[in-house]
Structure 1
Amino acid sequence: MSVITMSSREFNQSASEAKKASLDGPVFITDRGKPSHVLLSIDEYRKLAGGMTTLADALAQRGEVDIEFDVPRVGGLYRAADLS
C-alpha cells in the first residue's frame, strides 16, 4: 500500500489522478503544507468504518436483538397558550 501526498492545488488540477492513486492507498491532501483531508477508495473506507448498517437492515432485525430505549423527557421547549 502506497501513501501519496498532494497539495490542494494539485488535487484540484488532477482529481482523476488522485482517484486512481487512492486505489493503491490513501491520498493525503495538504493545505499550506499540513495534512487536511484523506482520499480513500470506497472499499478501504468500508473496512475502516466496519461496514454500514442501513436503517432498513436495523429495523429488519426484529427478534434477533433486544434493544431497550428510554424516551427522554423534554421540558421547557414550549409554553402554555395564552387564550385571554
Structure 2
Amino acid sequence: MSVVTMSSREFNQSAGDAKKAAQSGPVFITDRGKPSHVLITIEEYRRLVGGITMLADALAQPESADIDFEPPRAGGIFRAPDIS
C-alpha cells in the first residue's frame, strides 16, 4: 500500500491522478501543509466501515425497488398546530 500526499492545489489541478493513486493506497490532501482530507476508494471505505450500507447507497442500487423501507414513527415529537 502506497501513501500519497498532495496539496489541495495539486488535487484541484489533477484529480484524475489522485483517483489513480487512491487505487493503491490513501491520498492525503493538505491545506497549508496540514492534512485536511483523505481520498480512498469506495471499496476501502466500505471495508473500513464494516460493510454498513447507507440508505442513499441502498436506494441508488438498481435492485432498490425490492427494498421495503418503513421508518419508525416519531411518536410524541410533533403536536398539532393551534390555529384558533
> Structure 1 length as normaliser, TM-score?
0.69
Is there any run of 5+ residues in structure 1 with no aligned partner, and where? 61-68
Amino acid at match of 2:45: Y
- Provide the C-alpha distance between the structure 2 equivalents of 1:29 and 1:46, rounded to a whole number of angstroms: 20
Are 2:40 and 1:40 aligned?
yes
- Measured after TM superposition, the shift of residue 58 of structure 1 is 6.9
Amino acid at match of 1:80: D
Are 2:77 and 1:74 aligned?
yes
The alpha-carbon distance between structure 1 residues 70 and 81, as it changes in their structure 2 partners (threshold 3 A), is: closer
Q: In the alignment, which residue of structure 2 is the partner of 1:14?
A: 14
The runs of 4+ residues in structure 1 deviating greater than 4 Å are 55-58
> Cα RMSD over matched residues?
2.5
Superposed CA offset, 1:57-84 (max 9, x none): 8748xxxxxxxx6744125x654212xx
Moved more, 45-54 or 5-14: 45-54
Q: In the alignment, which residue of structure 1 is the partner of 2:29?
A: 29
Aligned length: 73
